């Protein structure tokens, strides 16, 4: 079972932070994969809803210093 979260991510200006966010979030419990688009300022995350949730993932990105908003 996988849910998808779309998260708007502000404050990324180069690919370095794309990699940092992807690496950090990938290591979290319940995350299947994440791909972050620098151009679109969006992260798309597939996760196991019995282990985590969209708000928790959003908050983790926020805690890394980026303005994060759930899109869906």
Q: Which residues bind ligand 9UX (CB under 6 A)?
A: 12-14, 16-17
CB of 18 to ligand 9UX, least distance (A): 8
Closest by Cα among 41, 4, 40 to 61:
41
Given the complex with ligand 9UX, which of 4 and 23 has the nearer CB atom?
23
Say if residues 19 and 62 touch (Cβ distance below 8 Å): no
Given the complex with ligand 9UX, which of 21 and 31 has the nearer CB atom?
21
5: which DSSP letter? E
CB of 9 to ligand 9UX, least distance (A): 10
Phi and psi, residue 69, nearest 5°: -135, 135
Structure tokens at 31: 């995350």
Given the complex with ligand 9UX, which of 13 and 72 has the nearer CB atom?
13
């Amino acid at each position: 079972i996988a849910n998808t979260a779309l998260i708007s991510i502000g404050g990324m200006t180069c690919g370095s932070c794309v990699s940092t966010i992807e690496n950090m979030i990938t290591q979290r419990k319940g995350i299947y994969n994440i791909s972050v688009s620098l151009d679109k300022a969006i992260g798309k995350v597939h996760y196991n809803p019995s282990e985590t949730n969209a708000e928790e993932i959003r908050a983790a990105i926020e805690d890394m210093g980026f303005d994060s908003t759930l899109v869906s």
